[in-house]
Amino acid sequence: MTSESSESDSRLQQLLRLPRRYAAHALHRYRRLGTFGKMVLYIWALINVFLLIFIVVVTPARIFQTLYDESTKLSHTRFGFLALGAIIVMVSFPPLFGHTTTVTVCGFAYGWRIGFFIAAVASIVGSASAFCILRLLFSSRLRQWSAKNTKFMALESVVKEKGLPLIILIRVSPFPPWVYSNSLFASIQSVALWQFVVATTFVFPKLLLHAFIGSRMAALSDGNQRDQMDTSTKILNGCLIGGGIAVAVLASWMVYTLVQNHIRKLEGVSPDVDELAAEAIEDFNEEAPLLG
């Protein structure tokens, strides 16, 4: 009983240290950002402040009702699904962003089943297109950059040696984000198109989760549907939305941590090379070869 109690206390202490650990990690990441990266972060924070003020002034009920009405019109438009698919393809190219939001809108407008199908097909088409076009247009620039970057050379050698399993692990990691991940794999010459497409299919569970969250948000956004729900149904839908978001955030962080730890401890690879490869993924941003 004593050993079990001490083990339980140890786990509790580790859990309590997590917020401080993550806060320190976030601060470390912030300090490593360049001027452009910090500027983007400030703009993002400012946009969110204005968005919060807008929501408070207009009221969430009116905003979500408008969103529901417009998404209903879109879903009843003959080629509305093509518009959403085209947006997903567009945001697969840097420096655009908004992939997760658009996937959620797919579920919001079409329900989680059809919304997931639209998002999955468009994500494959968009990511494969970005992969091919970026590699075709910037191949010479890529070779010049990678030859001078020790971290990226380490990442290329590790990916070449470990192949598809490692490519899948890196692809399902939430960092780099979708659009930067597309450019990252386009930058790694040892990654073939078919490997990239196969690895992208492993992102489908995440797409399904976001489409499901969007469908539940739609159910609560429409005043008519909301008025017909009893209190328990409203609470259930709210819990599903909150739980889905919590699962998405927690799973993303866990996957990212596991991937980084896995890369740093690959068998048959020098620890120094492992560390450089992990840092190459962490440092890959808008200043990387295909985005600078």
Q: Which of 58-67, 200-209, 266-275 has the lowest mean pLDDT?
A: 266-275
Of the ranges 172-176, 185-189, 207-211, which is most confident? 207-211
What residue has token string 């997903």?
Answer: 88
Confidence band of 30 (pLDDT split at 50, 70, 90) = low
pTM over 0.75, yes/no = no
**100 or 33, which is more confident?**
100
Residue 225, pLDDT above cutoff 70: no
Question: Which pLDDT score is estimated for 156?
Answer: 75
Question: What is the residue-wise DSSP string for 230-273?
Answer: -HHHHHHHHHHHHHHHHHHHHHHHHHHHHHHHHHHT-TTS-HHH
Q: Is the bond preceding 176 in cis, omega lying within 30 degrees of 0?
A: yes
The residue-averaged pLDDT of 113-124 equals 95
